[in-house]
Amino acid sequence: MLEGSKGFCGAFTLNITNTKEVLNYISSFQIHCVVNLASNLIPSSSYEAYIQERANFISPISELLDELANRRVAYIYFSSGGTIYGSSDKFSVNEADPKNPISYYGLSKLWHEELILNASRTRGLRYLILRPSNPFGPMQNPLKKQGLIAVAVDRMRKNQDIEIWGDGLVVRDYIWVGDLTQAIASLLDKDSWNEIYNIGSGFGYSINEVLSTIQSLLSTQSKIVYSPARIEDVKHIVLDIQKLRTAIEFYPLELKQGIKLYIQDLDPI
């Protein structure tokens, strides 16, 4: 979907590898900001999928970023707060901590970030890099391979078994989608450009805790099936959101409140 100084223009399907076509649309509709949420990878993606992503998606971005800088078009990139840092001994990680991804998904996100930072240093690109944790909420597709809460709620509502990789002790930071969008809108209102922000709840929950919370809100006969752990799954990742809270007022919902809202949205009164 494109929006520019002429107002809402509509939705278009473009090939990101065709930089010229993308730039033509940016010029035609006087686009002043490009938001990139696209990726064909997930944390379990293979090396072959990563190579394909680099060739068909990430590499053309370098050319696009240079042109956006020349045209003074801003760029907002949704990176990953869940995989880009990799394993850490800290309770929570901040934006300045080392980035050591252990999956090809995280590596692709880090490489994209580096392209943005280089375009900013060398060409003056105005950017905003956002590292959200694990968002959940309305309109999330429970049939995809990502999104623990959406998948678990869907399967528990159907009394279907749930497969978990590992022992369920993997810890993640989860954020209600309304809090995520509120944070982004507030950052844009503050003109917080040329910055990187974690956006999460600041709290960590194990997979077992998440499933227990969902079970407490639903009557379910679902069985949890534990399968061998995957090497690409970081064992513990919680986002430090102090930088975000310095920039804006931010008070995210507690996990159970968010899940309850999600279930209520699925079963409106």
What CATH number is associated with residue 105? 3.40.50.720
Cross-strand bridge partners of residue 36: 77
Kindly write down the DSSP assignment for every residue of 3-65, as one continuous string.
EETTEEEE-----TT-HHHHHHHHHHTT--EEEE---S--TT--HHHHHHHIIIIIHHHHHHH
Determine, yes or no, domain membership for 233.
Answer: yes
**% of the chain with per-residue pLDDT over 70:** 95
pLDDT of residue 237: 93
Domain count, the chain: 1
pLDDT of residue 224: 93
Determine, yes or no, domain membership for 78.
Answer: yes
pLDDT of residue 38: 81
Determine, yes or no, domain membership for 13.
Answer: no
pLDDT of residue 59: 76
Taking the C-alpha atoms of residue 80 and residue 186, their distance in angstroms, rounded to an integer, is: 19
Determine, yes or no, domain membership for 86.
Answer: yes
Determine, yes or no, domain membership for 176.
Answer: yes
Q: Contact 127/194 with Cβ under 8 angstroms?
A: yes
Determine, yes or no, domain membership for 5.
Answer: no
pLDDT of residue 269: 53
Determine, yes or no, domain membership for 2.
Answer: no
pLDDT of residue 13: 79
- pLDDT tens, per residue, the chain with 269 residues: 444 444 445 567 777 778 888 899 999 989 999 999 888 888 888 999 999 888 887 778 888 999 999 999 999 999 999 899 998 889 999 999 999 999 999 999 999 999 999 999 999 999 999 999 999 999 888 887 778 999 999 999 999 999 999 999 999 999 999 999 999 999 999 989 999 999 999 999 999 999 999 999 998 888 999 999 988 888 999 999 999 999 999 999 999 999 999 999 987 65
Pick from 158, 257, 264: nearest CA to 213 = 257
Determine, yes or no, domain membership for 114.
Answer: yes
Domain region containing 135: 32-266
pLDDT of residue 56: 80
